[in-house]
Structure 1
Amino acid sequence: MESRKLIGDQDKQQAVAYLEALGFQILAVNWRYKRFEVDIIALEQQVLVFVEVKVRKNEDYGMEHTLISQQKQKRLSQAAEAYIFEKKHQGQIRFDIIAIINHKLNYIKDAFWNY
């Protein structure tokens, strides 16, 4: 039986491949700053995109749009602020979700607003 981490890494790689196929430039995977982490950071043209990858075996714990709590959104926003400051990015940003539920990938663009 595969470990949860290995399965999660495979799912993130699936998400990365999906974004690359859409023309995104992947800048970082599992980017960390202090206690914050962003699953994928990418550029879509000139827009800096922070992507949270959520994997579920089924929809028992909610649909895609309910997978990111307000608290998690706030942490992602704080991580984004740190990344933007570190890289001196000036321009648009966006928060997206890739939900993989029962092996089906669903991409949600503009999933939530920055705090």
Structure 2
Amino acid sequence: MAAVGLGKETASKLLGSTPHDQLLIKTSEALVGVCYVFIGILLFMVAFVKDKDFQNFFAKGCVLMHVLMAAWRVFFERKIEDFARDWPRQIVGDCALAMSWVFFLVRNWREKYD
């Protein structure tokens, strides 16, 4: 059963049980945080760009980023026992976000060639 709340048990689970787990958890949190901030800023900037080619280039980069995040979860986060139950759900989320960008690319491609 997953621990919910802000108790000592939850805090100890988020720290990791070994130094290797602690390093992977901190690296993963930093990577995800930087990616979210970076994508948020870029989305705001791209929203004002009218160039379809640039928007397609940006969407391809977002697909790549989500695929890389899913790969990170498969190769590193699944090895951490505290995250063992969460990583499959997060991979599904990463794949869903990547597919939303793929649908955007397909829609733009159809508009271009229809």
Provide the TM-score with structure 2 as the length reference: 0.30
Provide the TM-score with structure 1 as the length reference: 0.29
Higher helix share: 2
Higher strand share: 1
